[in-house]
Amino acid sequence: MKNYELLTVFKPSLDAEEVDKAIEAIGKIASDLGGKVVSTDKTGRKKLAYDIQNFRDGFFVTSIVSLPEAKVAEFRRQLRLSDNILRTMFLEASKAGV
């Protein structure tokens, strides 16, 4: 399994409890695909450079996810299906950074 860094921007209309539930849902998706969430860092609410779906800011969360390489496409597809997520950035984590 490889480690990946996932930056997720959630809708600002969510409260802290709903964001926590969305983060748990991401962990469940990863575990269903045979992986796990190694760590999660809630950066908080930040202003966006441009409007996304008419939102000017978003709640940023960075996670390190360990997944089998064959399941990455399915994991990304599942993330796109979530209504609470504005944007994601999914990268392979460098060995030195993790």
| CATH number for 18 | 3.30.70.60
Task: Please give the pLDDT value at position 95.
Answer: 62
* 41 in a structural domain: yes
* 20 in a structural domain: yes
pLDDT tens-digit series, residues 42-72: 999 999 999 999 999 999 999 999 999 999 9
Residue 97 scores a pLDDT above 80: no
The stretch 23-41 carries a mean pLDDT of 93
Average pLDDT, the chain: 91
* 98 in a structural domain: no
Residue 96 scores a pLDDT above 70: no
Model-level pTM? Answer: 0.86
Domain count for the chain: 1
Residue 32 scores a pLDDT above 60: yes
Alpha-carbon gap, residue 19 to 34, rounded angstroms: 23
Alpha-carbon gap, residue 90 to 75, rounded angstroms: 10
Alpha-carbon gap, residue 44 to 61, rounded angstroms: 7
For residue 41, give the nearest of 66, 25, 59 by alpha carbon.
59
Strand order in the sheet with 36-52: 36-52, 55-67, 2-10, 85-92
* 39 in a structural domain: yes
- Residue 90 near residue 6 (C-beta atoms within 8 A): yes
Task: Please give the pLDDT value at position 94.
Answer: 73
